[in-house]
Amino acid sequence: MRTVAARAIDAVLDRSVVGGYTRLGYLARRRVGWPADPPPGALAGQATVVTGGGAGLGKAAAKGFAQLGATVTLLVRDTGRAEAARAEIRAAVPGAQVDLMRCDVSDLEDVRRIADELRGRPLHVLVHNAGVLPPARVESAQHHELTLATHVLGPVLLTELLLPALTGARVIVVSSGGMYTQSLPAEDPEYLDGDYKGATAYARTKRIQVALTPLLARRWADRDVGVHAMHPGWADTPGVSTSLPGFSRVLRRALRTPEQGADTVVWLGACDPAPPSGRFWHDRRERPEYFLPFTGHGAEELRRIWRYCAEAVGIDPT
């Protein structure tokens, strides 16, 4: 049972942002009140798939799953570069079964191809972690803005296509605390208007991920598929250091390790009982979707953004 003091500390850390998102927040929450770790072997015999699993948070999550006994498939754009990640996980977890499969999740045709390869095996955890933060507006193979294609369209399509293999599974979407700064871009999902900023595009699509999570939880409930969004806080990953070098340099000593950032991904995938579906999580606790009033949205805005995304990937939005 969490104490009143632990809840108060947790809330203060969350609202302070810097305190909650850095390594300090992770260590403080773990010390004052933390849901139990999954037991050893919690995922024994279960299959997990992690997109963007070749580095950073994806690699850390994959290693966490392997340590709990799962077989792990790293879904990556470049299998050659990801060989080092597979070797690192195998060295850390002797006997771990770690596979590499190539897929660019921004390319909807590539998503259809990889879904055909994965569909024949039962999957227990699917983590949508692959991410991009381009400096200028770039389009995917199907001419969608790249962050939208990578963070929203590809993951929605991949999950839909894998539903026959996902019955009883958990789908985990790695979002970002940056989404708190943005409203739902229902009128301009492709970021065609205004001056394009990569960090804004990233945060907008992370907002879409979180907004769609309850809707997708309802959509896939008849398959007993749980859908969980989370944000990792500020972690020291190759993506952060490359895309946000100034941010990384200033906060270097305060950033979380990739393992600390990925902790909630692993917990959501392995805790028993399963967490409630359709929620947004950080540091093993459910978090609010909004802090700033102007970032809220109504049912009609959500309906429009969902219809756009569903039609873009070729599925029935109803």
- Quick check: 263 and 208 in contact, CB under 8 A? no
User: Is 202 designated active site?
Assistant: yes
Radius of gyration of the chain (CA): 18
Handedness of CA 56, 57, 62, 67 (dihedral sign): positive
Handedness of CA 262, 263, 265, 269 (dihedral sign): positive
- Quick check: 72 and 149 in contact, CB under 8 A? no
> Among residues 21, 180, 202, 308, which one is catalytic?
202
Cβ atoms < 10 Å from Cβ of 52: 26
One-letter amino acid at 108 equals L
From 293, 234, 283, 292, select the one nearest 10 (Cα to Cα).
Answer: 283
Per DSSP, the chain holds a count of helices (H) and strands (E) of: 13, 8
Non-local CB neighbours of 234 within 8 Å, separated by 6+ positions? 21, 22, 177, 240, 251, 254, 255, 256, 261
Phi, psi torsion values for 284, nearest 5 degrees: 65, 15
Q: In what order do the strands lie in the sheet with 170-174?
A: 98-102, 71-76, 47-51, 125-128, 170-174, 226-230, 279-282, 285-286
Asked if residue 288 has a cis previous peptide bond (ω within 30° of 0), the answer is no
Known catalytic residues? 202
